Amino acid sequence: MTLCDKYFLLTTLTIIITRVFVYIFNKPSPTIKNFRTHHWMFGLVFTIILFCISDFYTNIYLLAISMGIFLDEIGFIIIRGKSHEDNYSPKSFMILMFFILLLFIFRENIINFYL
C-alpha cells in the first residue's frame, strides 16, 4: 500500500469515526465569547499549520487526521447548516461523498504538494 493510499484511508477513517462520535455524543460545541466553535475549524487550522511547517516537519498521518476532521463537516459548511440534523442530511452527506471522491482522485497530488 502506497503512502498516498494510507493517507486516503486514514482520512476516510477519521471522517467515519468523527461522524459516529458526533452522532452518538450530540453535544453543542464550546462557545468562546459568543462565538461557537466547530471541530471543522480545528481541523482546518491544523491542516494549514501542517502545510506551513512542511519544510521542517512532515507527518502524513497528522495531515490525514486533521483533513478528515475538517472534511467531516464540509457539507454542513457548504449548505450553511444550522442544526445537527443539517449535518446528517442527505444533501450534506452527498457533498461529503463528492469531496471524498475528490480526495481519492487527488490524493497523490496532495501528498506530493505536502512533501
Mean pLDDT for 22-39 is: 80
pLDDT for residue 3 is more than 80 = yes
Mean pLDDT for 3-26 is: 92
What local confidence, expressed as pLDDT, does residue 37 receive?
78
Mean pLDDT for 45-73 is: 90
Q: Hey, CA dihedral for 32, 35, 37, 42, is it positive or negative?
A: negative
What local confidence, expressed as pLDDT, does residue 45 receive?
93
pTM of the predicted protein model: 0.86
Are the CB atoms for 39 and 29 separated by under 8 Å? yes
> ∠ CA(69), CA(104), CA(59), 5° rounding?
55
What is the percentage of the chain residues whose pLDDT exceeds 90?
55
Are the CB atoms for 114 and 59 separated by under 8 Å? no
Mean pLDDT for 60-83 is: 90
**What ranges make up the beta strands (E) of the chain?**
31-32, 35-36
